[in-house]
Structure 1
Amino acid sequence: MTQAPEYVAYARMDELHELQNPRSDARGELNFILISHVKELLFRAVTDDLDTARAALDRDDVADTCLALSRAVRTQRVLVACWESMNGMSADEFVAFRHVLNDASGVQSFAYRTLEFVMGNRPRDKVEATYEDGHPLLRAELAKPSLYDAVLAHLARQGYAIPQDCLEKSPAQQHELSAGVESVWLEVYRDTGKHHEAHRLAEALLEVAYQFSHWRSTHLLVVERMLGGKGGTGGSDGAPWLRAINEHRFFPELWTFRTRL
């Protein structure tokens, strides 16, 4: 048997290319599967960088935190660009194979949900569903403080007046908008020279949140272009559900304090 080239053997590329098995003869289905696989791997890459950032925060290393966040942002931009490839498919091309998806939907992705959990979106219904019948990676993530929880704990250690209830909540509990946290960020931005490291951290976090919202909004546009008002394959309302989730913002006080600045 001929030995595979090292590039193929190292990353098991031959196995990777055996994973795409379209269920129809429709022209667009292979591309749909390929881009879906790419997005799943990129979710994992972003999660890995955010986990690295969280570990750096635990040791109060803002430089390493911001470095990891900047890497995550670069990968997020590639994620956004994935929609451009998907957007090249016309509505009739998608309809030609949509039926073979059955109830498959991106909302079922454990890699995507893990990313949301890492960033801090841990709504009660998703948390309960995870504990009942969720992927092990999701359950493991809920045992850890989110990235934003780690940010607030870091700021508290630096002497900022983070409310005690934000620091003492359970890791699985979602952070709720806090006037006290908003006031801390306002303090930072009113004197960025004095609060240089906190300001640098805030800007890096905001870029991660911005890119995630950019991904969501582009997703919405692609779905509207392909499906119009049809419901989602996984049981969601389709575009209306995506429009609603587009209103969500990660690290909420980094958005709201600006009204007071």
Structure 2
Amino acid sequence: MSGGSGCPFGPGEGVPAEHSAEQAHRDFSRSLSYGDYLHLDELRSAHQPVTEAHDEHLFIAIHHVSEVWLSLIVRELQAAMALLEGGITDAPLKMLTRVVRAQEQLTAAWDVLRTMTPADYLQFRSAFGQASGFQSQNYRMVEFLLGNRNPTLLGPHAHRPDLHGPLLAALHAPSVYDLALRLLAARGLNVPAEVLGRDVSRPYVADPAVLDAWLTVYRDPERHWDLYELAEKLVDVEDNFRRWRFNHLTTVERTIGFRRGSGGTSGVGYLREALDTVLFPELWDVRTHL
């Protein structure tokens, strides 16, 4: 069909004029462009391999992307926890759902990194010395907010007060599970005082009375619907956290085998031990006792 007066398309363009790229804004001398808004120059400038190895670019990109997702997870967890502390449950459920979706993206990143072979990795591994994801402040903050706490893990950040300070504060503040248990108690369910008043800087230890409280919720979900939804959302978060850790383990094992990690841990052995960590034990045990 030609571009005559009866045709809605311009001559030879194949698209309506109002949808043409010619309509796009092109003068950004006095307004923010896409690159300006996202500070893409700074983002690209942060991508600085220290060797000529082809796969170092992949390695850096995956870790940059992962740090951005972790930062979002921290923000959403902190916002959800602030609302839970005030007894609000509806908005936190949306925020925790966003955490779960971001975790899925983090886990998927390992699939891309696994395209790097051991030979590829060894071309640049020695160049970054003792730098390791073990030292990620964002990752450590996620662990602390979820309740996996160990004061020793503050050590790698001691030289940076701006990183150490927020982690120390999180270590001594209630975890998201502590807040959920306080919410159970506020609703009249039996959560022992010693659980509510425990030293939150230490890892949580399962308690039979807490299991009974969650059993009350799970046996009558209609009556305790928001608590039931909150519990299941926390299980989603921990489930995805475990998947991320497992994919991390298998990626490391297929890349470096049983060599020590660059940050000084035993590598695969350390990651395997971490897989045994249970953050919200009663939420898993409740399924056996229903």
TM-score in terms of structure 2 length = 0.84
Q: Which has the larger radius of gyration?
A: 2
**1:100-131 deviation per Cα after TM superposition (whole angstroms, max 9, x unaligned):** 1211111111111011001111124336x489
Structure 1 counterpart of 2:217: 188
Q: Which amino acid aligns with 2:87?
A: D
Secondary structure of the residue aligned to 1:17 is: helix
CA distance in 2, matches of 1:28, 1:14: 22
2:245 aligns to what? 216
Deviation at 1:59, TM superposition (A): 2.1
Q: Which deviates more, 186-195 or 233-242?
A: 186-195
Q: Residue 159 of structure 1 aligns to which amino acid in structure 2?
A: G
Instruction: Name the amino acid aligned to 1:55.
Output: A
Whole-angstrom distance in 2 between the partners of 1:39 and 1:222: 15
Establish whether residue 149 from structure 1 lines up as the match of residue 172 from structure 2. Answer: no
Provide the residue aligned with 2:98 in structure 1.
71
Identity of aligned residues (%): 35
Aligned counterparts of 1:130 and 1:108: Cα–Cα separation in 2: 6
| 1:15 alignment counterpart | 42
Give the structure 2 partner of residue 252 of structure 1. 281
Contact in 2 for aligned 1:103/1:234 (Cα 8 Å): yes
Q: How far off its partner does 1:209 sit?
A: 0.6
Contact 1:130/1:139 (8 A) holds in 2: no
Alignment of 1:37-116 (within 5 A): 37-116=64-143
C-alpha contact (below 8 Å) 1:131/1:139 kept by paired residues: no
Q: AA paired with 2:136? A: S
Amino acid at match of 2:253: E
Match of 1:34 in 2: 61
Following TM superposition, by how much is the alpha carbon of 1:199 offset from its aligned partner in structure 2, in angstroms?
A: 0.9
Structure 2 residue matching 1:232: 3-state secondary structure: coil
User: What amino acid is aligned across from residue 113 of structure 2 in structure 1?
Assistant: M
Distance 2:71 2:243 in 1: 18
Which residue does 1:160 correspond to in 2?
189
The answer for unaligned runs of 5 or more in structure 2 is 1-27
Deviates more, 1:223-232 or 1:181-190: 181-190
Distance in 2, matches of 1:178 and 1:24, equals 52
Residues 117 and 142, structure 1, Cα contact 8 Å, conserved in 2: yes
Q: 5+ unaligned residues in a row in structure 1: which ranges?
A: none
SS of the aligned residue for 2:124 comes to: helix
Distance 1:98-1:113 versus aligned 2 partners, 3 A rule: same
For these two proteins, the number of residue pairs brought into alignment is 259
Q: Is the CA contact 1:213–1:249 (under 8 Å) kept in the aligned structure 2?
A: no
- 3-state SS, counterpart of residue 203 of structure 1: helix
Q: Partner amino acid for 2:43?
A: L
Q: Paired residue for 2:205, among 173, 176, 187?
A: 176
Say whether residues 1:235 and 2:269 are aligned partners.
Answer: no
Secondary structure of 2:79's aligned partner: helix
Secondary structure of the equivalent of 2:233? helix
Question: What is the alpha-carbon distance in structure 1 between the residues aligned to residue 52 and residue 87 of structure 2?
Answer: 54
Aligned: 1:137 with 2:166? yes
* Bigger helix share: 1
User: Which secondary structure does the structure 2 equivalent of 1:247 belong to?
Assistant: coil
> What amino acid does structure 2 have at the position aligned with 1:90?
T
SS class of match (2:239): helix
Alpha-carbon distance, 1:191 to partner: 2.0
CA deviation profile, 1:152-174 (whole Å, cap 9, x unmatched): 11111111111111211244233
